[in-house]
Structure 1
Amino acid sequence: MSVMVGKPNSTDFEIIGPNNQVLDKKQMTNDITLQHGVLVSGTYSFCIINTNYMFEPKLISIYLWAYQKDSWSQYAMAINEPLDKLANMSAHMQKTDTNIGVIYTHLERMKRETFKDWLLIISNNRYVQNWSLIQCVVIIVSTVTQVVFVRRLFGGNESKLKGRPQA
């Protein structure tokens, strides 16, 4: 879980169990990783609390990966019973489980980096558009000002000489 936009230290994160009891509570940093074992089956809630800065925009990326380790060990036991050659199957499965976790973490990090790059591109585009608009306004104002001064410079003498012969 990570804060993509907004202040990272202004948010709390809670895991609430099926009996409405708070199982884990953490203060947010830029990136936070929680591992929590489930003792009772049921519906678990995740609560993101942003009371101090509730009118400030915030974007939080959450990645949830749930699996049952009991199923992995039961599967390993079922394979290891008939086959003596696969004595280290459990270690390989745990290593595979760890590698899958590393892959998911890497994918989440790449997704966050891509999103941060996209936000930077949007910000730079807005900056360039604003400065281009300001430069266009300055050019138009300076052009109009030059035209007015040049007309005054060359146009003022014609009205005085009307009706009089020029020498």
Structure 2
Amino acid sequence: VQRATGIANSRNILATASDPNGIQLGVSQHTRGQINFLTKETGFYQLCLGNQENHFGFMQVYLNFGVYYEGFEGNKQPEERRELNDTLEAIGTSIHKLQLHIFHMWRFYNFARMRRGADSFLLESNYRYVNWWSMAQSCVIVLSGVLQLYFLKRLFNGQSSSRQRC
């Protein structure tokens, strides 16, 4: 889980995962809140996100789920057949390891993409914030110049009476 905010104090988020019985499986309070847990039952798992540190601003959350099986063997072969097919067994083991490595690289790639997206969103938000405040301050400066010019012109304008102001 990763989140990015516009104008905020912190980019941390509280993420908790619960199993179908409501038992809490993991907690993370970090910008990249990775929670790893083992499951033994099927059902609906719950993911809760909390924003206690930043109460204001826009919130963008990226979710990335990965499920993989370790130690799961569907069909066990007899020992004689395994001895005859050592080459096929070695190939199968190396393919399984390769699949795990590819899955982990895919996860790291997704984390890097989420970090880049969060940074991009933060830069875009700050860019809009700076542009709006610069435009507002420019309008205030121009308006104060016009008002100063108006009052200076009024001060030095001569009236029809003989009384002078300066």
Corresponding residue for residue 94 of structure 1: 97
Corresponding residue for residue 164 of structure 1: none
**Structure 1 residues 151, 27: closer, same or farther in 2, change over 3 A?**
same
Matched position secondary structure for 2:48: strand
Q: Which has the larger radius of gyration?
A: 1
Q: Does residue 1:147 correspond to 2:120, yes or no?
A: no
**Letter matched to residue 38 of structure 1:** T
1:142 Cα offset (Å) = 1.3
Q: How does 1:2-151 map to 2 (within 5 A)?
A: 2-5=2-5, 7=10, 11-13=14-16, 15-22=17-24, 24-50=25-51, 52=52, 55-57=55-57, 58-69=59-70, 73-74=73-74, 84-86=86-88, 87-151=90-154
CA distance in 1, matches of 2:159, 2:44: 90
Structural RMSD (CA)? 3.5
List per-residue Cα deviations over 1:1-26 (Å, max 9, x = no partner). 2342364556251x32233323x232
Gaps in structure 2 of 5+ consecutive residues:
none
**Letter matched to residue 66 of structure 1:** V
Gaps in structure 1 of 5+ consecutive residues:
162-167
Equivalenced residues, count? 154
